[in-house]
Amino acid sequence: MTVGEASCSQKCLVCAVPITSMHLGMDACRACSSFFKRTRITGRQYPCRSGNRNCSTLKDDKMACRRCRFEKCVVLGMIYDGPIRVRRKTPLSILQRMKIESKAFIERRRGQELKIIKQHGGHKRYLHPKEMYDVHQETCMEIYRIFIAESYTFFKNVFPAFSELNEKEQELIFKDYIGKMSMVEGYYRTLHIWGGINKYMMCSVMTCYDVERAPLQDDLKDKENMSFLLDYTKTYAEDQNEIFLPMFNKCSLTEREYYALMALVLSETDIPVDLSEDAQMIIDQYRYEVFEDLQHHYLQEMGLRDFSARLGNIMSLNHTIQECKSLFKVFFRFYSTIFDHCLVCTVTISVTRFGMDVCRYTLLDICLSPCLFGHTVANIITAIKRETSFLSKNKFHFANIVILQSMFFILQAN
């Protein structure tokens, strides 16, 4: 280690703490230089906490990321030329990757959602060991923007092979996947947080809604036939639960099986155009890897000699999810036929846009519009990040929360 004197006013180029000496030949503190040396010796690789590799490396930052800290050391020119332990990297299996990325996916959303909730100040907190809040009409759209943006990062990290395909096919597969993944995550997290799918349903990482809560009188007055809409929406939700919950409860998913299902929903596609042979091969390969990991889980971790029943239940549940997606399409078409109002903000409309009953403001501003109407992935991310005053200018009905949550099932709608 090369050590030299430095001015007391100098700071570490990596974490910005004051330093009085140099380490590894540059203005770096002992902690950062030791971290760099240790990482180089062991060959360890860290995941990025944000998924974008642009995290803060400041010492006191709560989101300090080891991956970005190491990469900053490299960019600054830090060098360790001593002996290095050869580390043979074992590739992560798809279910290991799914587990790591799922947890990172939730934590990224948790931080962003909590910031929105605290800034708003109008959310009711539930009496629960975990920090949970009631969904609020004024913040739910921002939270959905977060979900879509982070879903794309999650999708790329879990299924990196799709990057070999053209952008249009990546977009089609992502659209088909996101709604089914959202459904699996929503039911699974509701079960584990609330102990069942009875009174509450998770809307996001930090918010949920009371399914038994009566509609507000303002909602019933603001729109003709709103009472009928609420009844029909409730019937639709009950029908979906009748289809999904029996098989979901029968499976009693282990954590590994849950991650397997999150990957397997990719294998049953409902895309209006034929995928290329390369795309289908990638999907089939991921499906094969999931089955391999599940077999190891059943034989080595659960000690099951005959796991055909459990595997069969998971495949049946996967098919049930496709049925739920089809059920929503029927509900959505019925809504569009009966009500000549914007599907989101409920203002009266006289024309359809891109084959959908939405107003111009919704088409331009709402976070789901890029997905619904076939924009590129780049446009999706741009639209999500764009700040709008849409919700402050338009009444957003609580009833539409159910509709919006289900809308992910028709991201590739005609």
Alpha carbons 261 and 258: distance in angstroms, whole number: 5
Average pLDDT over residues 202-223: 68
Q: What percent of the chain has pLDDT over 90?
A: 20
Of the spans 62-76, 103-117, 123-137, which averages the highest pLDDT?
A: 103-117
Task: Tell me the residue type at 114.
Answer: L
Q: Is the pLDDT confidence value at 341 over 70?
A: no
Q: How high is the pLDDT of residue 378?
A: 39
Q: How high is the pLDDT of residue 224?
A: 55
pLDDT digits (tens, 9 = 90+) for 353-412: 444 555 544 443 333 333 333 333 334 333 333 333 333 333 333 334 333 444 333 333
- At 210, which helix (H) or strand (E)? strand 207-210
Which fold does the domain 94-410 belong to in CATH?
Retinoid X Receptor (1.10.565)
Average pLDDT over residues 96-124: 92
Q: How high is the pLDDT of residue 338?
A: 57
The Cβ-side half-sphere exposure at 264, using a 13 Å CA radius, reads 25
Residues with Cβ within 8 Å of residue 105, at least 6 apart in sequence = 150, 151, 153, 154
- Structure-token pair, residue 398: 């609580």
**3-state SS, residue 252:** coil
Q: How high is the pLDDT of residue 387?
A: 30
Beta strand ranges found along 127-225 (DSSP E): 133-134, 200-202, 207-210
Alpha carbons 371 and 24: distance in angstroms, whole number: 49
CATH number assigned to the domain with residue range 1-88, chosen from the 4 options 2.40.30.170, 3.20.20.70, 3.30.50.10, 3.30.1490.20: 3.30.50.10
- Domain residue ranges in the chain: 1-88, 94-410
The distance in angstroms from the start CA to the end CA of the chain is: 64
Q: Are strands 207-210 and 133-134 parallel, antiparallel or unpaired?
A: parallel
Least confident of 97-111, 185-199, 320-334: 320-334
Q: What percent of the chain has pLDDT over 70?
A: 70
Facing residues of 198 across strands?
none
DSSP percent split of the chain into helix, strand, coil, nearest 5: 55, 5, 40
Q: How high is the pLDDT of residue 386?
A: 37
- Structure-token pair, residue 162: 């799709």
pLDDT digits (tens, 9 = 90+) for 285-332: 999 999 999 998 998 888 888 889 999 999 999 999 888 877 776 766
Alpha carbons 247 and 160: distance in angstroms, whole number: 30
Q: How high is the pLDDT of residue 248?
A: 92
Alpha carbons 179 and 254: distance in angstroms, whole number: 22
Least confident of 221-235, 266-280, 397-411: 397-411
Write down the mean pLDDT value for the chain.
74
Average pLDDT over residues 261-269: 90
pLDDT digits (tens, 9 = 90+) for 165-187: 888 888 889 888 888 898 899 89
Alpha carbons 333 and 326: distance in angstroms, whole number: 11
Q: Where is pLDDT greater, at 10 or 1?
A: 10
Facing residues of 134 across strands?
208
- Count Cβ atoms below 10 Å from residue 2 Cβ, excluding itself: 10
Q: Is the pLDDT confidence value at 137 over 80?
A: no
